[in-house]
Amino acid sequence: MAMSLAEEVSLDLEVMFKALASERRLQILEWLKDPAGNFPPQEHGDPHEHGACNQFIVEKLGVSQPAASRHLKVLTDAGLVIATSRKGWTYYRRNEEAIADLTRQLANDL
């Protein structure tokens, strides 16, 4: 059965573009490419598996904790980032599959 790319992966381009239309959020995505390299060592939560600890992102962004929290929510709601809670901390990592789906669709459809 034939489907358009949009149906196939059901990406909401407008939501994703809104999430990406922010220097702060682009910066977060960039940092999350290499959590271990961009953030201090963390005691719990493997940087490679679970991503970077929330608090490190807050500090590096240089905004208040609630502001950072909302940026991370925008990214997770758009499906670009995945949150993991563990022992009272929250870790964020890139959703590489979704990002690859997005760039693939853009290369074909934009």
Burial class (CB in 10 A: 0-12, 13-18, 19+), 20: middle
Q: Return d(Cα 88, Cα 78) in angstroms, integer.
A: 24
Site stretch for a copy of itself (CB under 8 A), options 14-22, 37-45, 51-59, 64-72: 14-22
Q: Which does 99 bind (CB under 5 to 8 A by kind): DNA, a copy of itself, none?
A: a copy of itself
Among 63, 98, 99, 106, binds DNA (CB under 7 A): 63
Q: Return d(Cα 79, Cα 82) in angstroms, integer.
A: 7
Among 1, 2, 3, 110, binds a copy of itself (CB under 8 A): 110
Among 4, 6, 8, 22, binds DNA (CB under 7 A): 22
Determine if 63 is a binding residue for a copy of itself (CB under 8 A). no
Instruction: Show the CA angle centred on residue 40, arms to residues 39 and 44, nearest 5°.
Output: 105
Determine if 64 is a binding residue for DNA (CB under 7 A). yes
